[in-house]
Structure 1
């Protein structure tokens, strides 16, 4: 008998989906007053440790969050 805990649990996400906590962190950083430039610079600096592909993914995620925040701001 094969036991796959993820597919048998009713609240499990679909296979292949991933929760991306970096979106929450970027949004929280903006709410705390960090500038967009400071957030991107942080990801660039982390790229030297975590790897450039991870940094590029984080920067793209940040740009997506910036765009969604800009579209929900009054007068946008």
Structure 2
């Protein structure tokens, strides 16, 4: 499942550069994650890098975009052209 940044985001700018898929961008008020690009770092890292660096723990699993590990891996392969 893709990740979601909640309104607790403090715009600290640390998550955006950590995303290997470029899924995180500055929104109108807080950072946002594009679900079609978010693989929860599957294929890149063992853990979601944005979650690891977030100082306020405002990045959660997006209940509106549930995906299995296999679906996340397939998305990773589609995005990167690997596989």
Q: After TM superposition, is the score higher than 0.5?
A: no
Name whichever structure is richer in strand by fraction.
Answer: 2
Q: Name the structure, 1 or 2, with higher relative contact order (CA <8 Å, separation 6+).
A: 2
Q: TM-score scaled by structure 2?
A: 0.25
Bigger-Rg structure (1/2): 1
Q: TM-score scaled by structure 1?
A: 0.26
